[in-house]
Amino acid sequence: MIVSFIPILAVDVLGSVAMVVISLLSLYKAKILRGMDPDNAIFLYLLWISVGLTIFSVSRAFGHILKQFLVLTSNTDTWHAISAYSGSVNTVSFMLVGLITLFFNQNWNINEKIFSGRKKLEETHIKLMDLNQTLENKVVERTERLTSSEHKCRRIFEQSLDTILVTDAEFRIMETNPAGIALMGYDREEMIEKKMILGGFFLDSSEWEKLSEKIKFKEYILNEEAEFIRPDNESILVLITGGLDYGAFGCAKTYHFIIKNVNDKRQMEQQIAQADKLAALGELSAGVAHEINNPLGIILGYTQLLLKQEQEPENKDDLKIIEKHVQNCKTVVSDLLSFSRKGSTEMSIVDINKVVDGVVKFLSNHSDFRNIEMTLNPHKGDRLNILGNEQELSQVIINLVINACHAVDRKGNIDIVTEKTDQDKIFIRVKDNGKGVETKNLTRIFDPFFTTKPVGQGTGLGLSVGYGIIKRHQGDISVKSSKGKGTVFTISLSAVKSKA
């Protein structure tokens, strides 16, 4: 059968070329695929297949094209010589492709394992990320809480009006707050760097010994009263509460103290007790004075009547003695009535400087003041006006100056000072350099009938009456005294605000 060779030739040559081109394109695609997921064993398998098929296509195309060329150029013998090699390469190449193809299942299983492993890894990664995120969030949250708590504690520590003190096991000061610095009167550096011992602030060292033993034994102390001494020798009454902290994370044990200044409170309590006592005495005195005043008036009236009628000088002297003592009684009764506020008082604007000046002028002419150097330091500037009773205030100041005169034993210095503060407070200070008052008597000095003078020389009502008058003027009277160094009486009154 004779047929056209053209279709066979065309299909052979064009097909061979097409095979080479398409196999190369396939190889290119397989490489892209592999590049997209290098861990994918199936893509690697497809790349191998493509490589095998490309080798097959190229070798086959080469063989076929060469064959056609040699046959057409009448070199059939040459082709016969080459064909065996070309055929062998072809055989090997498609057997290679076949062999690779048979490994598909193994590749698939490997790929499944890789994917399963990767999936587990991704899941674990996500879980780890979640855990990490949660951990980060918790760390942020805890840090914020810790910062807030630290800030709160720091504010409590810094802002506390009570002293907060941290000491080591040997009671050496490690930390204190601003209130502690104010209370102790030392610099922060001085207290901490020099490691001052808490016991050094105690006025009485035996008191500290007892307290330190107690806290060591019981590991705490609660509201223990103690007296501290400041660098300026001022003593302060304090309440101490403290406890032992064993510390965390290997920290050394420390003691924490809270120290409360109760000086003012105690003084106030004493003043209240004094006021209560005086009020009760005032009530009693008023009753007694009222009951005695009328009979005394009758006694005095009849005594004076008898004095007019009596001709006998001996009887007259007796009646005069009676009259004198009745007069004394009436003075006492009058003082008692003044003390108990039963008297009538008219309030008006009074210039304190004027009152004090009048008192000084009045007393300087008195014989008792001849050997006394009395100096007046009045406040200069605006007037020291208060709302009060001039006579009563004069009486108080006269009493104080006379007391000072007795304290210096009619020979010494008496200073009278008036001053006004920015807070519209007026102070009158009567200071002497006399014998002073004993500490035990200071608390009783304003009590009615309390006197250190010899019997018959004082009624013991001067200061208590003065106290009553000052209290009635919404003021205060206090005393400071040191035995042998002198006494200072301070009257404080509220100024009337001057009209602009």
Partner 1 sequence: MPKKYWFNPGSFLRFIPVFAIASLILLPLDVYAIQIHTSSEGIITHQVGHLFFLFSMVVLIFTITGKGLNKQKGWRMIQYSAFFFVLWNIDAIIAHFLDNQICAIKIENISLTRIKLVSQNDSSVLPWLYYILKLDHLLSVPAMLFLFKGLSNLVDDQKKIIKEKASQ
* Residue 467 near residue 446 (C-beta atoms within 8 A): yes
Q: What x/- string results for residues 302 through 341 when contact with partner 1 is judged by CB under 8 A?
A: ----------------------------------------
**Structure token pair of residue 460:** 């013991």
**Is residue 3 a contact residue for partner 1 (CB under 8 A)?**
yes
CA distance 173 to 305: 81
* Type of residue at 249: F
Rule CB under 8 A: say whether 94 interacts with partner 1. yes
Does the footprint of partner 1 cover residue 455 (CB under 8 A)?
A: no
Question: Minimum distance from CB of 45 to partner 1 (Å)?
Answer: 10
Q: Could you tell me the smallest distance in angstroms from the CB atom of residue 133 to partner 1?
A: 17
Question: Closest CB to partner 1 among 16 and 403?
Answer: 16
In 10 A of CB 185, how many CB atoms?
A: 17
Residue 105 found at the interface with partner 1 (CB under 8 A): yes
| Binding track over 64-93 against partner 1, x by CB under 8 A | -------xx-----------x--xx-xxx-
Distance CA 200, CA 208 (A): 9
Residue 322, Cβ density class (10 Å: 0-12 exposed, 13-18 middle, ≥19 buried): middle
Is residue 121 a contact point for partner 1 (CB under 8 A)? no
d(CA 448, CA 278): 8
Q: Which two tokens stand for residue 142?
A: 């805890």
Residue 206 contacts partner 1 per CB under 8 A: no
State which of residues 41, 48, 51, 57 lies at the interface with partner 1 (CB under 8 A). Answer: 57
Can residue 161 be called a binding residue for partner 1 (CB under 8 A)?
Answer: no
Residue 463 interacting with partner 1 (CB under 8 A):
no
- Taking CB under 8 A as the binding criterion, the range among 30-38, 160-168, 350-358, 431-439 that sits at the site for partner 1 is 30-38
Give bridge partners of residue 239 from the DSSP assignment: 225, 260
Min CB(127)–partner 1 separation in Å: 17
d(CA 401, CA 429): 10
| Whole-number Å distance between alpha carbons of 108 and 43 | 10
Cα separation of 230 and 233, whole Å? 5
In angstroms, give the least distance from the CB of 94 to partner 1: 4
Q: How far apart are CA 250 and CA 375, in angstroms?
A: 68
Interacting residues with partner 1 (CB under 8 A): 1-8, 11-12, 14-16, 18-19, 22-23, 25-26, 29-30, 32-33, 36-37, 43, 46, 49-50, 53, 57, 71-72, 84, 87-88, 90-92, 94-95, 97-99, 101-106, 108-109, 112
